Amino acid sequence: MSTASTLNPADKASVNGIALYLDDEVLSTDELRQRACTELLRQAAVAQCLLPLDDLPSADGVLSEAASEAIEALLERQLRIPEPSLEACQRHHAAHRASYATGERVNVRHILFAVTEGVDVALLRQRAETTLLHVRCHDAQASDDIFTQAASTLSNCPSGAEGGQLGWLSASDCAPEFARELFGSKEVGVLPRLVHSRFGLHVVEVLERQAGQDQPFESVHGAVAMALRQNAYVTALRQYLGLLAADAVVTGVDLDTAASPLVQ
């Protein structure tokens, strides 16, 4: 079968005719894409006799316990995750030494544009991007005042009352996707792009950094190997979802498996 992947609001989003949402639901693009990927996997589990035919699909995105277990078994069967070699681990550590340093901290403030039920995500993103541009296009003193004012009036985080101040944070203090942006570079100042997290969109300023202490490869070998296994899993899952999508009829959703929350 050929794949029809569109974002036409006139189409009811579905995978092989199975609806992905209830009539009164409003979903973000990411939520809709995630449901489509999950339904592809559920249907594949049925096709491989890992899930009974009478397991009913859920239009509200909540899988049955049996479906969750069947998808887990399906992925264990289908995905081949190689064990990283010692040489690969050493190369990765050498290229990402800062990621395995301990004790690094950043002094941060932010403006949160929260993604909540019913919010117009496109409009929210536009507002966040406009704010990011506004705080970046001024000298340091003016930008400081503008950031404080924007945080107090626009931020959906309680820190807005303090000008967006989050204080000193280590990676363990943050959601993983937020930590990746904060600690994945050595930038100081307003970050040049919006930071996406499970909470929404953030305009972030790193005020100061305290460098961490390098750790020898031997002490972080396990963490390095885990990171490489996770990278391999993401790649394999992305490829498998692509194969399933190529043999399905998908309507009403832009099924970009590389951008799916399932593979991030």
Task: Say how many domains are in the chain.
Answer: 2
pLDDT band at residue 42, thresholds of 50, 70 and 90? very high
Angle formed by the axes of helices 217-246 and 86-95, to 10°?
Answer: 100
Q: Which residue has the higher pLDDT, 241 or 184?
A: 241
Q: Considering the chain, what percentage of its residues have pLDDT values greater than 90?
A: 55
DSSP-derived secondary structure for 26-94: ---HHHHHHHHHHHHHHHHHHHTTSS-TT----TTS---HHHHHHHHHHHHHH---PPPPHHHHHHHHH
For residue 254, being part of any structural domain is answered with: yes
| Gap between the Cα atoms of 55 and 228, Å rounded | 35
Task: Please give the backbone phi and psi of residue 260, each rounded to the nearest 5 degrees, phi first.
Answer: -65, 140
Residue 189 · residue 206 · CB < 8 Å: yes
Q: How much is the mean pLDDT over the chain?
A: 86
Q: Considering the chain, what percentage of its residues have pLDDT values greater than 70?
A: 91
Q: Which of 64-68, 101-105, 173-177 has the lowest mean pLDDT?
A: 101-105
- pLDDT > 60? residue 164: yes
Q: Look at residue 181 and give its three-state secondary structure.
A: helix
Confidence (pLDDT) at 6: 36
Confidence (pLDDT) at 232: 94
Confidence (pLDDT) at 262: 55
Residue 262 · residue 38 · CB < 8 Å: yes
- pLDDT > 70? residue 9: no
Question: Hey, what are 140's tokens?
Answer: 């340091």
User: Is residue 113 domain-shared with residue 202, that is, in the same domain?
Assistant: yes
Indicate if the alpha-carbon torsion angle 24, 25, 29, 32 is positive or negative: negative
User: Is residue 190 domain-shared with residue 128, that is, in the same domain?
Assistant: yes
CB within 8 Å of 61: residues ≥ 6 apart: 20, 21, 31, 34, 35, 38
Q: Which residue has the higher pLDDT, 138 or 22?
A: 22
The answer, as to whether pTM is greater than 0.75, is no
| Gap between the Cα atoms of 190 and 136, Å rounded | 7
Confidence (pLDDT) at 11: 54
- Looking at residue 243, its amino acid is L
- pLDDT > 60? residue 259: no
Q: What is the mean pLDDT of residues 215-243?
A: 93
For residue 134, being part of any structural domain is answered with: yes
Q: Which residue has the higher pLDDT, 197 or 28?
A: 197
For residue 234, being part of any structural domain is answered with: yes
- pLDDT > 70? residue 3: no
> Model confidence over 50-78: pLDDT tens digits?
999 988 887 677 788 899 999 999 999 99
Region label for 203, one of left (φ > 0), alpha (ψ between -120 and 50) or beta (otherwise): beta
For residue 98, being part of any structural domain is answered with: no
For residue 197, being part of any structural domain is answered with: yes
| Gap between the Cα atoms of 44 and 71, Å rounded | 8
User: Is residue 258 domain-shared with residue 204, that is, in the same domain?
Assistant: no
User: Is residue 69 domain-shared with residue 124, that is, in the same domain?
Assistant: no
User: Is residue 124 domain-shared with residue 63, that is, in the same domain?
Assistant: no
User: Is residue 201 domain-shared with residue 111, that is, in the same domain?
Assistant: yes
- For residue 194, give the DSSP letter: P
Q: Can you give the CATH number for the domain in which 202 is found?
A: 3.10.50.40
What domain range includes position 253?
14-82+224-263
Q: What is the mean pLDDT of residues 145-151?
A: 92
pLDDT band at residue 5, thresholds of 50, 70 and 90? very low
| Gap between the Cα atoms of 135 and 147, Å rounded | 6
Task: Please give the backbone phi and psi of residue 32, each rounded to the nearest 5 degrees, phi first.
Answer: -65, -40
**Beta-carbon-side half-sphere exposure of residue 74 (alpha carbons within 13 Å):** 24
Confidence (pLDDT) at 161: 94
User: Is residue 162 domain-shared with residue 232, that is, in the same domain?
Assistant: no
> Model confidence over 82-96: pLDDT tens digits?
999 999 999 999 998
